[in-house]
Structure 1
């Protein structure tokens, strides 16, 4: 079934031979599509298609049609077609995970990533090319996805650069990081590195308050891609988004950057700002600054290597990648210069910072809440009885969490105060936190 407004098309019950199931495809057509009938357009394919243009009970909308229309109207981006490929209930991780030996150490099979890849390339793309006026070839074809949709984008991009010339890997689920029953953090990387440098443009990002989806995972992969031959600012863009959580609204908020990178003009840098902890220990966890460049187009990126100056180098040195190397306690100012732009930050060095801090959380839920052994409040909290959940974890120093209390995928709390849309905390010291859930979204 095909339903169509002037520029939004839903192809319902689109069948897959490769996956033996059906789903909806959602297609955004650019402003001139019906007027300029001889013109053909580049195409962006997106995962979790049910959230690309609208919200549902499981999550918010990326509003990609709004962002694309705005960038086109501003003259910053060429017109494109966007195809949102919906997920099939209870098959999302199965379809988004390619098989590799590490996967079997962390998750239970089956892993249908290869068949999902075939579905897109051999079933979805031929249908889109046949029914819409598309430009063909990798230089006109991009893919975007977040979380598990980020890892499947990464895999398909590196496996098939002959098809996709640009990939946006947003908040990728590269590592299963979780707190065990003792509250200790366990990290299990499960993605496959390719060690290649195909003709591919890569956008890679992570939010600064995604909890166990840590900035370091995106940064480390970006550094490895540079070792493979990618050039930051050219065929690789990294953005560590300060304060951003693991949510559709945060991905929607930065989606304009990869759109500009793939299909537009990123413009000229207008400012640079240094983010990151302002305290470091001679003994303790390694701290790394996040220099964010903002452009006149709204484009943003993290500078991977910069020219830093330390006011008191006897206290602290800093590597070009922003890694702090404290020498002795004190306070000093760091300055970053990039052309005519500069940014500075005061850093305090103390003798020792803890690698981990203890975060204890108690959550009270409404009486009618269905029984559940665990609830999520930044990390999993076990049931203690009488509508109370209590738990604790040893959290890496400085790690930030922004979240809603949840009792399952898509089953979030309803926050009554419109000014407080989400909970947040930063593990800069031992914490005891109490949250009360007023009601649940339905």
Structure 2
């Protein structure tokens, strides 16, 4: 991890109070070093993406394939996630990884259900810009629409072309935490015909009040499933903000059966919290 990302991440968390069957040549079969904890079915694409209009940084993309990917001709649901540095590998993580690969490998062993996970690395000190649809007076940002449009118009078509995916919205999730939760919420409601499942974990609704007007305008979706998670020890107004959003969505017609909000009494704004709750998020969204 670069130093600038580490410094920005620490300051930000303190501020919010916690707070066919072959993969094509764009996949790098690189060798892990001894410190790496990612499993063998996680790869980093050779192709790096520069998002026009966002920033000059190229973005690496990580892809997790289910254990049976190479032994079957099946197609799989796809989960798009942010902050890829924190999802699979302790070596690249900010403060511990989510163990997404180990968790889904174990779930496959138990259920024989598999998923493809696409993790997009954040832009380090540009993370706030990428994950916020509107600017904040104090923290700036506000280029999240560009990031989401990139996922929809560039990255998802690339993934659907190069991997055996189930490409319809009902098989496609977008999941993230903190600002990653905010941009997942925004992306799912902006493009319900692309992302039919949203995991908004410890969502930073506080970043801009515009999120409530946006949700009000876009809440009458029939098929979207939404899982919201929050911890009582995350600080600030995050629990109240999440409860406010839940109430608003239901009042505006969002189907109650498609929405779950989980409040965890000892939940903190940490990677370990999201790691421990990840499987439950998946089980609700793909039930």
After TM superposition, the score normalised by the length of structure 2 is 0.80
1:151 pairs with 162, 174, 182, which one?
182
Of the candidates 242, 262, 265, which is equivalent to residue 242 of structure 1?
265
Q: Find the counterpart in structure 2 of residue 89 from structure 1.
A: 124
1:108 partnered with 2:140: yes
Look up the match of 1:2: 27
Q: Which residue of 1 aligns with 2:21?
A: none
1:257 is matched with 280
Provide structure 1 residue ranges, at least 5 long, that are not aligned to the other structure: 177-187, 265-442
1:62 and 2:75 matched = no
| Aligned equivalent of 1:173 | 204
CA contact (8 A) 2:220 2:252 kept: yes
Matches within 5 A, 1:213-292: 214-232=238-256, 234-264=257-287
- Counterpart of 2:69 (choices 21, 28, 33) is 33
Alignment of 1:1-400 (within 5 A): 2-4=27-29, 6-12=40-46, 14-18=48-52, 19=54, 20-36=56-72, 38-55=73-90, 56=92, 58-75=94-111, 78-99=113-134, 103-109=135-141, 111-176=142-207, 189=209, 191-192=211-212, 193-195=214-216, 196-198=219-221, 199-212=223-236, 214-232=238-256, 234-264=257-287
Cα separation, 2, equivalents of 1:57 and 1:262 = 25
SS in 2 for 1:61: coil
Aligned-residue CA RMSD (Å): 1.9
Q: What is the deviation of 1:149? A: 0.4
For the residues of structure 2 that align with 1:86 and 1:263, how far apart are their CA atoms? 24
Q: Please, which runs of 5 or more residues in structure 2 have no aligned partner?
A: 1-25, 31-39
Query: Is the CA contact (8 Å cut-off) linking 1:117 and 1:156 kept in structure 2?
Result: yes
Q: 1:191 and 1:255 mapped to 2: Cα distance?
A: 24
SS of 2:70's partner is coil
Contact 1:171 1:213 in 2 (8 A): no
CA distance in 1: counterparts of 2:47 and 2:95, whole angstroms = 21
Q: Is the 8 A contact 1:13 1:23 kept in 2?
A: no
Give the C-alpha shift of residue 190 in structure 1: 5.2
Supply the distance in 1 between the matched residues of 2:242 and 2:215 (Cα, whole angstroms). 15
1-side partners of 2:47 and 2:74: how far apart? 28
Q: CA separation in 2, counterparts of 1:97 and 1:121?
A: 16
Tell me by how many angstroms 1:105 deviates. 4.2
> How far did 1:58 drift?
2.2
Higher relative CO (CA 8 A, sep ≥ 6), structure 1 or 2?
2
Q: Does the 8 Å CA contact 2:88/2:100 hold for their aligned counterparts?
A: yes
Q: Secondary structure at the match of 1:9?
A: strand
C-alpha deviations, 1:209-260, integer Å up to 9, x for none?
111253221111111111122243x210110012010011000100111111
Quick check: which one's helix share is greater? 2
What is the CA–CA distance in structure 2 between the aligned matches of 1:17 and 1:212, rounded to whole Å?
32
Which residue in the other structure is 1:390 paired with?
A: none
What is the aligned residue count? 246
Q: Distance in 2 between matches of 1:44 and 1:213?
A: 28
Paired residues of 2:231 and 2:263 also in contact (CA < 8 A): yes
- Runs of 4+ aligned residues of structure 1 deviating over 4 Å after TM superposition are none
> CA, structure 1 residues 141+57, in 2 after alignment: closer, same or farther (shift >3 Å)?
closer
